Structure 1
Amino acid sequence: MRRFRLCAHGRGSLSRDVAPLVRKDVTTSFDEALRLHQAGRSAEAEPIYRRIIAAEPAHADALHLLGVVLLQQGDAAGAVDLIERAVDALPSYAEAYNNRGIALQALGAFDRAGDSFLRSLALEPANAEALNNYGVLCLRQRFRAIARAMLEKAVMLAPGFAQAQNNLGKALEATDALPEAVHAYRRAAELAPDHAEAWNNLGNLLQLIGRPDQAAACYLNGLARAPHYVSMYGNLGAALQSLGQLDQAIGVYHRGLAIDPAQVAAHVNLANVRHVGGDPAGSEASARLALALDPAIAEAHNNLGNALRDQGRLEEAIASYERAIQRKPSLAEAHNNIGAVTASLGEHEAAIAHYRRALATKPDYVSAHTNLVQATLYDARVTCDDIYNEVRRFEAVHALPRYGRARRPANSRDPDRRLRIGYLSANLRSHVVSLSLEPLFRAHDRAAFELACYAQVARPDAASAVFRQHSRIWRSIVALSDEQVADQIAADGIDILVSVAGWFDGNRPLICAYRPAPVQVTLFDAATSGIAAMDYWLTDGFLHPEHTRDRFTERLERVDHLITYPPPLDAPPVAQPSSTMTGQVTFGSCNNPAKITAATIALWARVLAGVSGAILVFKYLNWFANERLRGRIVGQFAQHGIGAERLVFETGARERAQHFARVSSFDVSLDTHPFTGCTTTFESLCMGVPVVTLAGDRLVSRLSGSLLTTLGLDDLIANDGDDFVRRAVAIAGNIERRRMLRDSLRQRIMASPLCDAAAYAQSVGAAYRRMWRRWCAERPARS
């Protein structure tokens, strides 16, 4: 919005034959018209201006101000005609040139508008309104440095000019001077508390820089003054969503929609917040409402894809993402999402291509780059060097810019004092990772360690309550930026920060790049973090043998064994395999379909070829109800001469007891490669079913092997593909060996280190103490 200065510059000249009485009447009439115009009664002023111009066609002020009236009425073309007559009559009329510029800009004649503003400023260099208007025009034309200079001069000349302060905020934001922009917007709101746009702009910038709580307060201030500012409801909803206040966000979006039900952005936002809140049906409904209003909006197609994916309708989700990309090829989120779905179906080559397209569009997209690294872990063609190099690229883009803002922990260097251990994780909830983490929390030596949790958990559950119970500090970090979390960790005096499963599940290892703790460790991760500020990678001697080919930036710290589980007390009794009734060997896999790659299928096909009549059962929740997934697997087995009749796909998610019972029906479980099972391996063993694995050259290909070697089952660990086939065929044919394992494995597991939480916690605690003592022995300058 522009500000018009409604004042008279000079009187037009009457011709000599105009009577003095007419001159007096014109002057009186003009003063009356100006008074009415300044009082906001432009409709009453207009006919008076017209009478003046009829009497005195060259009356510059009347021409100018009638032009302003027309501009205020939306007739920019008429305004230009009148104001140009005014400056023809009075070429030194600076304010008329300013308002002519406004009218020309409204017509889209930006170059002529700029010339007009510059002419005004040449005549009156201290005209703050003209400086403001020219600055706004330059900002629109992306001449950001010039815009900033003009607007800075405007507010210097008129410190109380709220609109110029607001526009200066925009210019500062456009030139990446974000702290200064915050100040300018805040100053505009202070000068004019009813200036809703200033509150909105301030809120948007605070949201951008990771202060959603302050942003929400700004939006509330703005809406209190302008309750019909519809887009601000959407912005407030987004801030509340960032704060984890999902129900409140939904309510705010509905308030905006009550004002304008056809507001597409609100429906798009509702679809997103319902997706995050675990309401896929509601998310789908909102996305479809948005698309009914505007079928071309790519973000709505993307959100619909998310809702469909959450309901397991993967092929429909892919189609929605593809429609989003067709409408907006630069929508990085859609590329990332379609990559995630194809990766979950084991189509990693396609997934990698989508992640790379997302990053080409948005190079600083952390989620897409994280997913790209994940995808490389499943691909047997990718080498350890390839993975390492991708991780280092991740570090260069995402971690390196943070190193300059690293904290300098000043923790006491007492090597033997009680330590505060912080766990940074999105897995402090019901999750396979928490199965190994929970025994550690329960058994940690409270005299030596006190625990703190930094939980990226939007919906805490019963497992979250257990972690909270065993921690001295529990902090939700859902609504905090990475840097804010780092500040909190440092303020809490954490001695050792443990980043859990950083490459998966929305975890946030980049917080460690700020060095909030003196010692930082990655635990249960699938690859090196690549973060220079990450000191250690906790592992064991099987996962990382002495001459491991895995590459890493951390120092390896080995414990007796990395993985532990609670005793399987809820597992049903071990039953006999189905082969005792059918005489047909049953191989099984309960692995995530993302792990069932072409390389895995090639191995399994050779095993089936070596065991006449054997079948292979696939089971993973209800995933194998997906026709596309089944089609890929059947097709790849067919390439190796194995028919579909030997493949059994289980569908329908079952209760835990039913799941265990089905696993018990297997004779042998076949492991995936290069990303092996872990929890699925443990569950098979608990049900007396041997698992044959191929131990590769990196941690993710040695997880099952770590469990098996802890149990003394090294004969089930293969060294290469041929060895895998030989061992799988051999155990399938060794009925006595399988019977012995079925009778003894449950007891062996219960008595093994895998279920000895106290010994495990002691081993991990000793590792933490070793790390701490090394830090204490270093020069204090490091901190």
Structure 2
Amino acid sequence: MARKQACRPSKHKMPQAAHSLKPTDVQVFESAFARQDYHRALQLAESLVSRSPASPQAHELCANSLGRLERLEEAVEAMQKAVDLAERASAGQRLKLAQYQVLAGKASHAVSLLEGLVQEEPENVMALAWLSRAHHQLGQNSRGLEVNDCLMALEYHHEEGLLWRSRILDQLSRHDETLETLRKLHEVNPRRVGVLNHMASLFTKEGDYDEAEKHYREELALDPSNGKVHSNFWMSSHYNPAYDAGSLFRMAIEWDRHFSERSSRGRAETVKDAGKRLRIGLLSGGFRMHPVGQMILPALQNLPNDQFELVFYSSNQYVDKLTQSVQTLAYRWQSIEGLSDSQLDKKVREDEIDILIDMNGAGEGSRYRTLTREPAPLIVKWVGGLVNTTGLESVDYLLSDHIETPEGVDKRYTEKLIRLPDDYICYHFPRHAPACNGLPALANGYITFGCLNNPAKLSAPLLQEWSTLLKEVPNSKLLLRGVQFESKRFRGKITAIFSEHGISEDRLLLEGPAKHEEFLETYQRIDIALDTWPYSGGLTTCESLLMGVPVVTRTGPTFAGRHSATHLTNAGLPELVTDNWDDFRARARELADDLPNLAVIRAALRTILLDSPICNGPRFASHLITALRAIWQRHCVGKAPEALSFSKSGAAQFADEDTPVKLALASQAQGFDWQLESPVLTVDNGAVLAMRRDARELLGSGRVVMLSFDPAGKMETVDHLAQYGEIQHFPYTSLGDGQPAPLYLAEGLEPTSLAPIDNDGELETHEIPTVALDGIVGLPNIDVLALDACHDNLSVLGNAFEALQNAFAIQVGVAFEPVSEHHPDFSRVQSLMREMGFRFHCFVSEKKKSWFPEGAVVESRTASELKVVEALFIPGHDRMGSFSVAQRVRLAFILHALFGANDVAFRILSDVDESLAIQYLDDERLVSSTSDAGTVGPEISSHAVDEEETIAVELEKLMNEEW
């Protein structure tokens, strides 16, 4: 309704000017417009613009038609032209421009225009209404309410003013005032579409599911074809215990049958190349401090740019600090609030999105109708309104895990399930989170249970079970907090329900909303958190664990009922997950009956959470990369979507295949063509190379093969890497002299085969086999050897003279703070390397020790004392001088790909062929596009790679003098 009003032709009189249109021409336009033949009206208006390009009226008529056709960005351009051409644009013309700007998702542009109008005409109620709306759409709700107050003072029953007042008040968490405003609006216009829907959502938030359903059905009686109301009804039904999983599944299917809009263009297509850089579209209104933003940011921050281009489609205009963090990751960012479903479909197709990920779901900001048009080759559902199956045939996959969707539930999902090995989200914890405190019960003398979930989740069976628990734990109290508890009416309602179950008011602590930091501080007064049912907590459970408060949950019948179960299980607390009320209460009582243990849990829980997979961005991103590339690779060979399950090690396998998927990462075709004769063979000790963050990319390039010796068993398996390339793993085996060696284990000590110095803790010793490289018969030429600092590297190197005679690079870990008498110092390693024909080049990494106490808050927590370095040795000058062209290119590749020594790689390629070196600079984008590579090359070689000026050579000189 609001949109129609905004797009209606202006009723103000056009100023007479030299460029006025003929009345007959305007009448013909208005006739087509009145018949709602907007395409014809636009043709006529464009003809008028063509004949009278300086006529403001012609451009305004064009804007009117474009507005009706929902081509809102074009309407803004046309109306801006009309305003610019007018000798003195009227208030009506400027208002219309601002209206189109708001509708087109450009509310920030409209604010200044509307403020100017209000300043000129303080009683212009329509300008005030749209100004309050613009502030609301920018998330500036306090300012929006101030403007709306001025409007209400002028016209208490202004329909548009009441509409946006209700939405502003809702965003400001003023629940009862929102409901009161909606009732007034319904009195003003009983047939106003959307009012009853909004009221239904408020009753859902109160847990009054029957009243909510009544209002949804009344809304549908007004507008039966409103798919968004149907989807809202379906979403809210997940809170209601009256609906089982089967009923909710059927409701989802029915929505797709009645409201989907298939595109005449069919499913979108992009280039099917399994190894290309994938363009991922992400659609959400939650790219901010919102459950979506907080559950995806760490994963997105760890997706490699060379594998993915992230295109963000924000369904609102909100911007906060988290939004800004997300925007730094964007290949392209766009607010699509002003785009219709068909326009968004067109936009996604034009952007050539390979995989579109929906994070809106069926609720607020839903773009289901866009999804049903199939605007991308693959569509995936993840987070954001993820309560169950979408029910949409157009959605190919749903990102889940083994806890959210246990075996046997696939039949209740229209999508194929991707079961990740850990949690289905990755939690970004807020830096403003207050410190965890001591257990409140120790000071209070009683247990405080608490729940800070949305009160919409407070179902009748849940409140009855909580009442029973409160009786079973004498003197205990229950703290509840949420928007709705600001209302005296709602507090009275909840108090009455507990009273009916025998719980007096003095045992209840009911508190209203608060800013996030204060909200988190509430946990400092809670001993044990109780989860909701049948719709469980998600972000709230993560926040509770962050604050040291354990959560007890009972799983519900759908995806929405298992959020806490997966978070608790992945945090290492599966014992707090139950599937019936008796066990639920028993777990809560067990915690309440053992205060010393509960205090220990509280002290450790934040660390447990942050160290768990729930907060491990790199780990989650690794699995997400595998999932996205696996489903894309399957699509490229023409196979239909199929369920994809991960093992705990990270290997992924499709349900219809017998072996884990072998993946191709983004091809390096856009980089330099190294033309290696064979893959580079790397050998490591201590899983040095296999545990690198780029191990997947190295193996996926097809240019690197790994043999990984893992004396301490740091890696349970390398299945997750074997999907990308050739790797062999030898756990609990070390390189050495071929004789058994000890492995020492102690708390606070990294596992080592070198006897520790002055270890006060309890020391465990295990015997492990060692392998002498020179003793391996038929071992191909080793190109790269990498040794960690925890084992006898002199023994490894002393038994590898023959195996390493053709090696190109050796990385040796050296401890500057030895934990063993036998730890070799740098000079001994340097001497042995020279004896083997290698020279020191640089330190490729270093670890330093900080002497600040743990937990100390300092401006910059610096660490200055050098503990361990990884020293890189390359062939000496004499040996390098005898290299063939192929050997030089191989060495250049190794220095480039494994050690980032691009300057030396360039120098080596220059010795082979200067044009080849320049090509390397261009292909690897090591020079700016505006530079002349022909002039950059000599400049780099004469300064950046002049060995007489490098620290490495200076150190080599010192070492030579010493010896």
- Using the size of structure 1 for normalisation, the TM-score is 0.72
Seen in structure 2, the aligned counterparts of structure 1 residues 716 and 393 have a Cα distance that, compared at 3 Å, is: same
Aligned to 1:634: 495
Seen in structure 2, the aligned counterparts of structure 1 residues 386 and 615 have a Cα distance that, compared at 3 Å, is: same
Seen in structure 2, the aligned counterparts of structure 1 residues 234 and 552 have a Cα distance that, compared at 3 Å, is: farther
Choose the corresponding residue for 1:368, options 220, 225, 229: 229
Deviations 1:545-572 (A, max 9, x none): 1122883321111111202224677655
Equivalent position SS for 1:514: coil
Counterpart code for 1:696: G
1:68-467 correspondence to structure 2 within 5 Å: 161-173=24-36, 177-188=37-48, 190=50, 199-223=59-83, 224-225=85-86, 231-253=92-114, 263-365=124-226, 367-398=228-259, 400-401=260-261, 403-406=262-265, 408-467=267-326
Seen in structure 2, the aligned counterparts of structure 1 residues 667 and 307 have a Cα distance that, compared at 3 Å, is: closer
Equivalent position SS for 2:442: helix
CA contact (8 A) 1:550 1:697 kept: no
**Which range moves more in the overlay, 714-723 or 268-277?**
268-277
Aligned to 1:76: none
Aligned to 1:537: 398
Distance in 1 of aligned mates of 2:571 and 2:471: 29
Confirm or deny that 1:614 pairs with 2:473.
no
Distance in 1 of aligned mates of 2:298 and 2:147: 42
Aligned to 2:817: none
How big is the shift at 1:519?
0.9
CA contact (8 A) 1:165 1:185 kept: no
How big is the shift at 1:651?
4.4
Counterpart code for 1:608: L
Distance in 2 of aligned mates of 1:285 and 1:446: 44
Aligned to 1:719: 579
How big is the shift at 1:643?
1.1
Consecutive unaligned residues in structure 1, runs of 5 or more = 1-158
Choose the corresponding residue for 2:564, options 693, 698, 704: 704
CA contact (8 A) 1:550 1:699 kept: no
Confirm or deny that 1:590 pairs with 2:449.
no
Distance in 1 of aligned mates of 2:140 and 2:277: 44
**Which range moves more in the overlay, 670-679 or 460-469?**
460-469
Distance in 1 of aligned mates of 2:377 and 2:539: 32
Aligned to 1:744: 604
Aligned to 1:555: 416
Choose the corresponding residue for 1:475, options 331, 334, 356: 334
Counterpart code for 1:492: D
CA contact (8 A) 2:296 2:428 kept: no
How big is the shift at 1:713?
2.1
Aligned to 2:441: 579
Distance in 2 of aligned mates of 1:778 and 1:257: 59
Distance in 2 of aligned mates of 1:589 and 1:556: 31
Choose the corresponding residue for 1:682, options 536, 542, 561: 542
CA contact (8 A) 2:481 2:513 kept: no
CA contact (8 A) 2:173 2:513 kept: no
Counterpart code for 1:238: Q
Seen in structure 2, the aligned counterparts of structure 1 residues 221 and 606 have a Cα distance that, compared at 3 Å, is: same
Equivalent position SS for 1:521: strand
How big is the shift at 1:655?
5.8
CA contact (8 A) 2:531 2:552 kept: yes
How big is the shift at 1:709?
1.7
Distance in 1 of aligned mates of 2:577 and 2:243: 22
Counterpart code for 1:167: E
Aligned to 2:374: 515
How big is the shift at 1:338?
2.2
Seen in structure 2, the aligned counterparts of structure 1 residues 262 and 624 have a Cα distance that, compared at 3 Å, is: closer
Q: Which has the higher helix share?
A: 1
**Which range moves more in the overlay, 479-488 or 709-718?**
479-488
Aligned to 1:32: none
Counterpart code for 1:770: A
Distance in 1 of aligned mates of 2:545 and 2:603: 11
Counterpart code for 1:318: L
Seen in structure 2, the aligned counterparts of structure 1 residues 242 and 747 have a Cα distance that, compared at 3 Å, is: same
CA contact (8 A) 1:378 1:595 kept: yes
1:492-507 correspondence to structure 2 within 5 Å: 492-507=351-366
How big is the shift at 1:323?
1.2
Distance in 1 of aligned mates of 2:253 and 2:96: 36
Distance in 1 of aligned mates of 2:266 and 2:57: 36
How big is the shift at 1:393?
3.8
Deviations 1:597-618 (A, max 9, x none): 3232122112112111110112
Distance in 1 of aligned mates of 2:117 and 2:521: 52
Choose the corresponding residue for 1:773, options 633, 642, 653: 633
Seen in structure 2, the aligned counterparts of structure 1 residues 483 and 663 have a Cα distance that, compared at 3 Å, is: same
Equivalent position SS for 1:332: coil
Distance in 1 of aligned mates of 2:144 and 2:296: 33
Bigger Rg over Cα: 1
Distance in 2 of aligned mates of 1:286 and 1:405: 45
**Which range moves more in the overlay, 295-304 or 425-434?**
295-304
Deviations 1:22-67 (A, max 9, x none): xxxxxxxxxxxxxxxxxxxxxxxxxxxxxxxxxxxxxxxxxxxxxx
Deviations 1:641-692 (A, max 9, x none): 1111110123462562x55454144221100111111222122223332211
How big is the shift at 1:294?
4.4
Deviations 1:487-544 (A, max 9, x none): 3322232211111142344243433222222111000122222322111111111111
**Which range moves more in the overlay, 320-329 or 338-347?**
338-347
Distance in 2 of aligned mates of 1:452 and 1:196: 37
1:21-36 correspondence to structure 2 within 5 Å: none
CA contact (8 A) 2:553 2:584 kept: yes
Deviations 1:727-756 (A, max 9, x none): 222332233542442343333323321122
Distance in 2 of aligned mates of 1:296 and 1:687: 46
Seen in structure 2, the aligned counterparts of structure 1 residues 447 and 307 have a Cα distance that, compared at 3 Å, is: closer
Identity of aligned residues (%): 26
How big is the shift at 1:235?
2.6
User: In the comparison of the two structures, how many residue pairs are matched?
Assistant: 615
How big is the shift at 1:240?
0.8
Distance in 2 of aligned mates of 1:619 and 1:777: 52
Distance in 2 of aligned mates of 1:552 and 1:192: 58
Deviations 1:697-730 (A, max 9, x none): 2001000001112233222111122332232223
Distance in 1 of aligned mates of 2:520 and 2:121: 53
Distance in 2 of aligned mates of 1:326 and 1:235: 28
**Which range moves more in the overlay, 587-596 or 251-260?**
251-260
Distance in 1 of aligned mates of 2:81 and 2:433: 56
Distance in 2 of aligned mates of 1:680 and 1:643: 27
Counterpart code for 1:479: G
Counterpart code for 2:28: Q
CA contact (8 A) 1:231 1:256 kept: no
Counterpart code for 1:186: E
How big is the shift at 1:281?
4.6
Equivalent position SS for 2:194: helix
Aligned to 1:117: none
